[in-house]
Amino acid sequence: MVEIPAIDLRLAGAGSAEETARLRDAETVKAYAERMHELIVDVAGKVAASLGLDGRSFQDWPCQFRMNRYNYTQDSVGSPGVQVHTDSGFLTVLQEDECVGGLEVLAPAAGEFVPVDPLPGSFVVNIGDVGQAGSNGRLHNVKHRVQCVAAVPRVSIAMFLLAPKHDTESAPEELVDDGHPRRFREFKYDDYRRLRLSTGERAGEALARLAA
């Protein structure tokens, strides 16, 4: 579930105008996060169905909702805003800043990063490490980064569909056969996150350690 503190707006009338505005903003963020949760659960279900895994539910999988603000200056233009990494979970739904670019993904064939230009009214979907392992390599995690391209503030909003912390993650038998042998050993997501943190390997290298 998306863990967002409950806010009782009935208290807002007793405070200052600034407090009232803050509480209303918080309620707006909460409502937006709930809608993004609905979206990411729906997308994940359709991705699973595309692999022949009909009826898989992600409703109770833990999620993380994050709002990022990058306060870029002229001195930071051309420098990284976020270093190269893959997302650790199953998949991510990202709303990009529609006015400022900077998101880049690695094109494996070319071995070069290419920009993902903002497209108003759209979302970006990234497959994470759990998505690659759980699909037995049919889906691919995406190496990506954020570069500072202009001396203006940049905002992005992301919902991460992670994985149950204590459940064992492994590709289902439907995705393993003679032509597609098992590519990764089973693991627990909480253990995998600790592996990424302890090794500093956050761009797919930690997942490679779990190769079958």
H/E element holding 86?
none
What pairs with residue 164 in β-bridges? Answer: none
Q: What is the CATH number that goes with domain 9-208? A: 2.60.120.330
Strand partners, 118: none
pLDDT band at 17 (very low <50, low <70, confident <90, very high): low
pTM for the predicted model, two decimal places: 0.87
String of b and e for 115-126 (b: at least 16 CB within 10 Å)?
ebebeeeebbeb
Take residue 110 and report the two structure tokens written for it: 């070319």
Angle CA 106–66–170, to nearest 5 = 60
**Please, which pLDDT band fits residue 205 given cuts at 50, 70 and 90?**
very high
pLDDT at residue 10, rounded to an integer: 31
Q: Name the DSSP letter for residue 155.
A: E
Q: Please compute Rg for the chain using Cα positions.
A: 19
Cα-Cα-Cα-Cα torsion 174, 142, 122, 69, nearest 10 degrees, comes to: 130
CA 130 to chain CA centroid, Å, is: 11
Flag whether pLDDT at 29 surpasses 70.
yes
Please choose, from the candidates 86, 82, 78, 131, the residue with its C-alpha nearest in 3D space to the C-alpha of residue 106: 86
What digits encode the pLDDT tens for the residues 97-142?
Answer: 999 999 999 998 889 999 999 899 999 999 999 999 999 999 999 9
